[in-house]
Amino acid sequence: MKKFIKEKGIVIPLDRANVDTDYIIPKQFLKSIKRTGFGKNLFDEARYLDKGLPDQDCSSRPINPDFVLNQARYAGGSILLARENFGCGSSREHAPWALEDYGIRCIIAPSFADIFFNNCFKNGLLPIVLDNNIVNSLFEETVPNEGYELEVDLTEQTILKADGSVIKFEIDCARKKSLLNGLDDISLTLLHADDIKNFEERWKQKSPWLFT
């Protein structure tokens, strides 16, 4: 997995609550059997004016000029600023895959849906939960200031603003360690293989009908 240590980038403000995973990546693109290539269809229905199809060349599609990703000032942005309950809906990991493939590394919001939040950490994406008032003020600062950037430092758990001020954020220590080191969860769990086998043996004694 890709490591996340520090990320400095342009902030893309997506001013919409309850952004669901269908909005992040519509279902017709889930037919792929690969993990890559979803970035061009990130927010497809909001980003383009026509109905998107899998394996389509998106460069000639009509774009929605009002949608934030289509505004030149946010080109190359890597920090997505969002509203509450971001990523609600399905468990499709295609949602973080699409964000990551597009170039997003960090998402800041007042709250996230559980499954999406969890999926981010499996893909080198850092979701940061901040107080709603702080998120509001970041929206207010981002929108009028072209080229507005933030620098996210995971080790220090800080977000540095251009004016030098710092916002602290909280993160679960296991997830922090995993992102900083780009760890493979499966290898880590398999370090406990003996414990799993022992548990399984005990569980089988207790609930033999589960092992027939």
Partner 1 sequence: MTGKTLYDKLWESHLVKDLDDGNSLIYIDLQYIHEVTSPQAFEGLRLAKRSPWRSEANMATPDHNVPTTTSERAQGVEGILDPVSKIQVKSLDANCTEFGINEFTIDDPRHGIVHVIGPEQGRTQPGMTIVCGDSHTSTHGALGALAHGIGTSEVEHVLATQCLQQSKAKNMLIKVNGELGRGVTAKDLVLAVIGKIGTAGGTGYTIEFGGDAIKALSIEGRMTVCNMAIEAGARAGIVAVDDKTIEYLKGRPFSPSAELWDQAEAAWRELHSDDDAYFDKIIELEAIDIEPQVSWGTSPEMVAAISKNIPDPAQMENDAKRGNYQQALAYMGLEANTPIQDIKIDRVFIGSCTNSRIEDLRAAAAVVKGHKVAESIKEAIVVPGSGLVKAQAVQEGLDKIFTEAGLQWREPGCSMCLAMNADQLGEEEHCASTSNRNFEGRQGFGGRTHLVSPAMAAAAAVAGHFVDVRDWT
Is 2 a binder of partner 1 (CB under 8 A)? no
Is 199 a binder of partner 1 (CB under 8 A)? yes
One character per residue 21-60, x = contact with partner 1 (rule: CB under 8 A): -xx--xxx-xxxxxx---------x-----x--xx-----
Nearest C-alpha neighbor of 3 from the set 181, 128, 153: 181
* Binder among 140, 156, 185, 201 for partner 1 (CB under 8 A): 185
CB of 30 to partner 1, least distance (A): 5
Phi-psi domain of 163 (left: phi exceeds 0; alpha: psi -120 through 50; beta: other) = alpha
Q: Which is nearer to partner 1, 30 or 143 (CB)?
A: 30
* Binder among 10, 64, 84, 134 for partner 1 (CB under 8 A): 84
Q: Which is nearer to partner 1, 168 or 206 (CB)?
A: 206
Type of residue numbered 193: A
Is 88 a binder of partner 1 (CB under 8 A)? yes
CA distances from 63 to 53, 59, 90, 199 (A): 14, 9, 26, 55
Is 104 a binder of partner 1 (CB under 8 A)? no
Residues 6+ apart with CB under 8 A from 25: 38, 41, 42, 44, 92, 94, 95, 97, 98
Is 122 a binder of partner 1 (CB under 8 A)? yes
Window of 5-13, 69-77, 89-97, 145-153 that interacts with partner 1 by CB under 8 A? 89-97
Binding site for partner 1 (CB under 8 A): 16-18, 20, 22-23, 26-28, 30-35, 45, 51, 54-55, 83-85, 88-93, 96, 111, 113-115, 118-119, 122-123, 172-174, 177, 185-186, 188-190, 192-193, 195-196, 199-200, 203, 206-210, 212
